[in-house]
Structure 1
Amino acid sequence: MNSCMQEVERLADDYYKKYVSPKTSLMLADVLDEVIARQGIEVIYLSIPKMDGEDRILNGMFFKHKDETVPPKIVINQLDTIRTQNFTLAHEWFHAILESEDLKQYAIQIQSNEELERAGDYFAASILMNQEVFVSYFEIIREQSLELQVFKLADIFKVPYVSVVRRLNELNLTPVSTLASLTERELAELRHEQIGESILDSPPKRIQFTQYQQLVKDKVVKGELSNLDAAKKLTRLNPDLSEEYFEKSVGKRDIDQLWDELDEV
């Protein structure tokens, strides 16, 4: 591991300790969007299908507007699995931290976009699978097969299987060569064959509370709630309705146009 990635892990460890008490069994993935929202960053879940000609689906994006009064935004693809959404959110948070924090105490020197993305992935892995906690859980299941180790750790930390495989390798905990070449889908299929399906391998099935949604709608009609605030309140309960309110909040402009404007910063 080079010195830059060591500093990225140190940053992740500091942030982890800032938000997770050693007295609890809390997994950061369970409250990550709330933690990020407390930093003044809007977390928005939108359906982003793979477009024609694209090799891969877009998992998420971070935007910081040139107008400092406009809150920065992290957009997460709600079509992804729960595991992937968690990891993407942590990755995009790293981009936000680089934009907002004074990182003089960390020797994080990013030389290229490729290195930036690699650092984002390493930050996500390091903060969601904190080294000390990860090793502690690994020691409990050390005697089990590599496949079971990966499946169980991925469930505990609510992260992608491929991320667990890389973490095991990065921390030199066990040889992972037999799984290192498998994709996330292949690992999910292997898990299904060996121990059954996991709810984490699907997009979240958010409960739609009809009465609460109607209350939000009524408040918008009465002018007691803005479209943007309505979108925030409904983002977990009804993503489709939340997306409708979000688009209204930007003056009914096409969402791609909004992203283009934010990307100009």
Structure 2
Amino acid sequence: MSSLPARYCAIVLLPILLLCGCASSRTDLAQVRALAAGADALNTFGELSQRHVDSYQRARPYLSAAEDAREQLLDAQRRAAQADVARLAQAVRLYLQALGRLARADAYDIAPELASAGAAIRAWPGSGIDDRHVSAYSILLQQLSRLGGAASQQARLSQVLHDGDAPLQDLLAALDSVLALYDKSGDNERDVVLGLLEVEIAYADTPQQRLLAVLAKSLQQSKSEEYRLAGLRHTLARRHLAALGRDHARLATAAFTTTEAGWMDR
């Protein structure tokens, strides 16, 4: 083809590559990634949820016949609701993980695709490649450059943060309500278990039952610590969810405000 007459139309890709990184940062990608890392807190929620489901099995040895009948009904309700509760937490986790991927530094890096297209082409009228095709090549690569880079990443992140904030806040509120229920249920279980142990220890306080009293007191101390730590975990989990909601709302507001400002400037 070198013998064919040609008119050169150099298409230098360096300016296009620069477009991918020249946009000023609006949404702090590091903060979005830190927010996404908060999905790990949902692992704690899952553990507390399982503890709640297992409540009847732990309390069963300490229940009277009437209490056992009531707790069996509650146990069935807890297990029936568990799947949907898990789906709520999973939806939040998947959303945050997707945000994290979207905020990766290389998420919108299309430099390899642009580089693989080559540095320039020229018109070869005798072979069917004329100036119109060279121009189309240039325009198509320009469109490709607009799909990548910081500008596209910022625009997409801003939209996702804004559109996702309201439903995320609703789901976090639902999980907070569930944790409050877990905490109340845990307190009820604690009162039943420790209440029975306290009564049994009082009746076992005789020389003949000394060993039984010692074992019961040891179990009482162990159970008291178990319920104290469970209550603390409920409190911390609720605080983590609240912080997650505040951080997302702040990023969503900041991203949408700066995006609106950008639209007004154009």
More strand by share: 1
TM-score in terms of structure 2 length: 0.23
TM-score in terms of structure 1 length: 0.23
